[in-house]
């Protein structure tokens, strides 16, 4: 049996459809070049060890029979519950050492938790020769995320597993990889960390107060996602940008936009971007813009001038990958 494996998975950026995708509507998501890399080693000990320096977990050890039990530090939750779910499903209980390393800051909202969950499950399935399709990996990783945070569409897990640019519907009801080229996406980080569950709850509160308005907004966002998908396939980036701007209007209706993101979005548009919007839950994290090549630098400068941080990304990146396997 193999004893050691290294797996990597990409981070993600939501292109269109956030929040509505929590409620059975579609979204568009792209996998980014920055990856999460996870090493897993089967040990003779009866302990679970985790090193995840990017999320401030070091020297974390517990007996394997306690995995998933008791207080679990925030940074250890996803890897630990992924192990618990995989072991329970396959009736395994071995000692393990897991080390995670991220090529991107967990602050950006690129989906480091989902990517590490996916890597752990894929790594264990390879080590124990448990045959799992991408959809099986998606399903177990999605269960893991729901076990921990109770909410979420799973779009980030799909991006980590499949890579590319996906047309995705809640819970993986539909996962379609679009056959498109890399996108000239410009990403600006607001410097503020957003908490996804808090923002989902905020929108749910709004939906209680204005049910019809919010439902209608979800339906309009769904329409925009479908239109944007056709523009992406046709490589009509100007129209795609226009649809991004319209989607941003609905995110304002949902109440997840903030001043800082708005300044960055307007700076990008004023500098000649075809379109700009927030990406993900809102309340912080990143905004994205699409711009013609000759306006790219001006858009980046505009974002920086209003206090944003430019983050270079490759889009449409490769999904889950076995980096190395040792006996
Ligand atoms: O905060 P992020 O970047 O993980 O994006 C959250 C997107 C939501 O639609 C609000 C939640 C979800 O799981 O789809």
- Asked whether 84 and 118 are in contact (CB, 8 A), the reply is no
Q: Using a pLDDT cut of 90, give the percent of the chain over it.
A: 93
Of 256, 224, 273, the C-alpha closest to 17 is: 224
Nearest CA to ligand 1 atom 3: 280
Nearest CA to ligand 1 atom 11: 152
Cα dist from 22 to 126, 173, 200, 203, 284, whole Å: 31, 12, 8, 11, 19
pLDDT of residue 109: 83
Tell me, using a 6 A CB cutoff, whether residue 21 lines ligand 1: yes
pLDDT of residue 153: 98
Atom of ligand 1 nearest to the CA of 282: 1
Segment 177-222, tens digit of pLDDT: 999 988 999 999 999 998 999 999 999 999 999 999 999 999 999 9
Angle at 277 between CA 272 and CA 281, to 5 degrees: 160
Segment 16-63, tens digit of pLDDT: 999 999 999 999 999 999 999 999 999 998 999 999 999 999 999 999
- Asked whether 73 and 34 are in contact (CB, 8 A), the reply is no
Most ligand 1 atoms within 8 A of CB, residue of 156, 172, 195, 278 to mutate: 156
Nearest CA to ligand 1 atom 13: 152
Cα dist from 123 to 14, 79, 117, 119, 147, whole Å: 26, 11, 10, 6, 20
Tell me, using a 6 A CB cutoff, whether residue 202 lines ligand 1: no
Active-site residue set: 156
pLDDT of residue 106: 80
Question: What mean pLDDT comes out for the span 265-285?
Answer: 97
Tell me, using a 6 A CB cutoff, whether residue 280 lines ligand 1: yes
Residue 254 phi/psi, 5° resolution?
A: -70, -15
Name the β-bridge partners of 168. 27, 175
Average pLDDT, the chain: 96
The Cβ of residue 265 has, within 10 Å, a number of other Cβ atoms equal to: 26
Tell me, using a 6 A CB cutoff, whether residue 114 lines ligand 1: no
Nearest CA to ligand 1 atom 5: 280
In angstroms, how far is CA 256 from the centroid of its own chain?
17
Asked whether the predicted pLDDT for residue 296 surpasses 70, the reply is: yes
Atom of ligand 1 nearest to the CA of 18: 9
Tell me, using a 6 A CB cutoff, whether residue 242 lines ligand 1: no
What band does 2 get if pLDDT is binned at 50, 70 and 90?
low
Atom of ligand 1 nearest to the CA of 151: 13
User: Cα(22) to centroid of ligand 1, in Å?
Assistant: 8
Tell me, using a 6 A CB cutoff, whether residue 19 lines ligand 1: yes
Tell me, using a 6 A CB cutoff, whether residue 106 lines ligand 1: no
Segment 138-175, tens digit of pLDDT: 999 999 999 999 999 999 999 999 999 999 999 999 99
User: Cα(257) to centroid of ligand 1, in Å?
Assistant: 14
């Amino acid at each position: 049996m193999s004893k050691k494996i290294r797996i990597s998975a990409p981070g993600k950026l939501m292109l269109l459809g956030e929040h509505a995708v929590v409620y059975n509507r579609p979204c568009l998501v792209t996998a980014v070049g920055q990856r999460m890399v996870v090493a897993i080693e089967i040990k003779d000990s009866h302990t679970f060890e985790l090193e995840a320096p990017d999320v401030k977990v070091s020297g974390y050890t517990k007996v394997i029979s306690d995995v998933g039990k008791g207080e679990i530090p925030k940074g250890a939750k996803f890897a630990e519950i992924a192990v618990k779910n995989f072991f329970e499903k396959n009736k395994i209980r071995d000692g393990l050492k897991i080390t995670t390393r991220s090529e991107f800051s967990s602050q950006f909202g690129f989906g480091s938790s989902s990517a590490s969950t996916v890597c752990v499950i894929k790594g264990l399935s390879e080590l124990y020769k448990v045959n799992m399709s991408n959809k099986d990996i998606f399903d177990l990783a999605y269960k893991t995320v729901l076990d921990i945070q109770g909410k979420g569409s799973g779009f980030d897990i799909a991006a980590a597993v499949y890579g590319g640019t996906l047309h995705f519907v809640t819970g993986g009801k539909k996962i379609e990889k679009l056959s498109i080229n890399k996108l000239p996406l410009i990403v600006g980080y607001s410097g503020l960390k957003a908490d996804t569950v808090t923002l989902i709850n905020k929108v749910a509160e709004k939906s209680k107060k204005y049910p019809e308005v919010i439902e209608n907004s979800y339906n309009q966002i769904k329409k925009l996602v479908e239109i944007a998908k056709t523009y992406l396939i046709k490589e009509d980036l100007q129209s795609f940008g226009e649809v991004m701007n319209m989607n941003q209007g609905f995110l304002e209706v949902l109440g997840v936009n903030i001043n800082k993101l708005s300044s960055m979005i307007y700076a990008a548009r004023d500098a000649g971007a075809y379109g700009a919007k927030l990406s993900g839950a809102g309340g912080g994290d990143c905004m994205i813009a699409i711009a013609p090549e000759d306006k790219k630098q001006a858009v980046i400068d505009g974002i920086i001038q209003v206090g944003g941080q430019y983050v270079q990304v490759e889009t449409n990146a490769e999904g889950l990958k076995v980096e190395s396997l040792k006996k």
